[in-house]
Amino acid sequence: MCGIAGMVSTESPDPAAVREMCDALAHRGPDGEGFHTGDHVALGMRRLAVIDVVGGDQPVFNEDRSVVAVFNGEIYNYPELRRDLLSRGHTFRTGGDSECLVHLYEEHGADLVRHLRGMFAFALWDATAGRLLLARDRVGKKPLYYRDTHGSLSFASELKALSAIAPDGREVDPVALHHYLTYQYVPAPWSILQGVRKLPPGSLLTWQDGRTRIRRYWTLDFSPLAVTDEREAAERTRELLLEATRIRMVAERPLGAFLSGGIDSSAVVAAMARLSPEPVKTFSVGFDDARFDERSHARAVARQYGTDHHEFVVGASALDVLPTLAWCFDEPFADSSAIPSFYVAQLSRRQVTVALNGDGGDETFGGYTRYVQMGRMERFRVHPAARAALRQLGGALMTSGSAGAHRRRAGLVLTLLGENAPRRYARMMSYFAPEQKRALYTEELSERTAGVDSYALLDEIFRDSRAVGPANRLMDVDVNSYLPGDLLVKVDITTMANSLEARSPFLDHRLMEWAARLPAELKVRRGTTKYLLKKAMQDWLPPELLHRPKQGFGVPLAHWLRTDLRDVAWDVLTDRTARSRGFFRPEAVRRLLDEHQAGENRTRQLWALMQFELWHRRFVDQPLSGPPALSGPPLRHIG
């Protein structure tokens, strides 16, 4: 696992700038660094050594050094690839996975990406052709930012690295901000800064002679697969999960697992326990507030499998980490579960270098309750002529200054019924609905985002989906939006900020491709989510865990914003600095604060605004530097 950076140009790139970018990525790779400079190219990397710890340095080269690559991630099928490439006459200088890239390129050209099984972002330079390839893995576990200007292209694993060499290029992109306020993250290909883009998941960028081309090389195939025997399907689920887990347990450094107490992480721990001769190290995080605490369920799994279990308790004082998170994420990011994610990564890193997790289980096997809710709403057949009236009435109820919480909820239901499926889902996922953004924006921001429809992003994904059935279609949409934009960003940033590598068996593309083709009723059936996965896990996990309501990895943020965090929220959002931005109407921000204090739930909106403001102060208002130090450990370690 590493951080990568580089530059290509029709002229001569600046090697010193690449070193500066790599310095900004030191947390991603504390174990070493490597550089290559040639005609028109400079590449660099920082290394977190996990495979071939002694000999696996980068960059890596082919036999005549005409092809060079830097790599971030893990290729889990590298032993098979290596054997095949050796049989074809290739010579290896290292024992790691990275060197497979240059030899695969010699065999397959740009199609090398189709042969990789793993998580990755890499840069490969073909000196003979004068061509640079940038690629991201299929689902987008590993990030890659780039700036393409005047025949030159620079790239890096994190936005802060690109900003380190262009400190004057830190102007907020109003369209990216507009999308962020809808989705709680900045969706690819946008970044929050003008002039910088994110390479989308499953995509390959080619630069040659100053020209850039991007193409998608993978999409999840939902072509229906006939299933005649549920027991066989459940057995196949176990087989694929075991195999995906096995190949992710290969490491020369200490390894463990995040154990939340949910089905997905518990299933991964159960698979690990079946494959490991030693007790699995497991790590959980919880809260004093029982509504958000899943530690008892994690303990049940830990006891069943005899794991070496460790728990951490988060209190409101854990919010001291907010300035650090603003530095880590590079962009405003409003998923509050980043807080416990950061701490469980930080404290797990004291004992392990690699941690497996349950990410992807919901998108692969149908775990979100919103899939059930959307299915129920689909049964209401609203005549198209009546939809506009429902939306108008619902909008009036939600935006009325005198409306209480019950009227606002009724307004939301009416609005949802008045939408088609893509718009309904977009509203369910929204932090700020369009009418709420209109009330929030200053005249200037309204003008700069005029005609930009954030919901159109989901419209396009729905339109392109070939999934059969509403539930499968929603999973397809999430795989192409929420999963890479929110969940995978959260895990990559919080783990790599602590020099910890996270691996996700449920995101194995072979497992995902098999599950995607299953009938939707094997995933969501009569109000039951993850139907097949629960059936597959009946002999692996406690019954009470399989059948309890989904809890999620949330934090008691609504309460904190009315108590411990109240003054901080007011100060951050209403002081002179915030008012001077020119993005939001001060009176609209104060109204949100007042409404939340009065009992309405404005948590998501306030948190999104706070994260943007904290990010702006850390990333734009002051020179870039290292992460702020925490004032002290805000957690209790149990076990």
Provide the annotated active-site residues: 2
**Eight-state DSSP code of residue 253:** S
Phi-psi region of 202 (alpha: psi -120 to 50; beta: other; left: phi over 0): left
Amino acid at 483: L
Sort strands 255-258 and 281-287 into parallel, antiparallel or unpaired: parallel
User: Rounded to 10 degrees, what is the CA torsion of 86, 91, 96, 101?
Assistant: -80
CA distances from 635 to 344, 349, 491, 546, 638 (A): 10, 15, 19, 29, 10
Q: Give the integer Cα–Cα distance in Å for 504 and 511.
A: 11
Question: Which secondary structure element, helix H or strand E, spans residue 549, and what is its range?
Answer: none
Closest CA to 347 of 97, 119, 152, 637: 637
Say which residue the tokens 């990030």 belong to: 143
Say which residue the tokens 């893995």 belong to: 137
Closest CA to 562 of 598, 591, 592, 587: 598
CB 514 within 8 A of CB 367: no
Sort strands 60-61 and 32-38 into parallel, antiparallel or unpaired: unpaired
Evaluate the CA torsion angle 468, 471, 474, 475 in order and state its sign.
negative
Evaluate the CA torsion angle 297, 299, 304, 309 in order and state its sign.
positive
Q: Give the integer Cα–Cα distance in Å for 116 and 81.
A: 9
Residue count of the chain: 639
Closest CA to 318 of 565, 496, 571: 565
Angle between helices 100-108 and 78-87 (to 10 degrees): 60
Amino acid at 55: G
Residue 543, preceding bond cis, omega within 30 degrees? no
In the numeric block, which tokens belong to residue 366?
Answer: 């149908």
Q: 8 in helix, strand or coil? A: strand
CA distances from 384 to 351, 413, 425, 479 (A): 58, 16, 17, 29
- Give φ, ψ of 533 to 5 degrees: -65, -40
CB 156 within 8 A of CB 162: yes
Say which residue the tokens 């919010």 belong to: 319
In the numeric block, which tokens belong to residue 381?
Answer: 């057949």
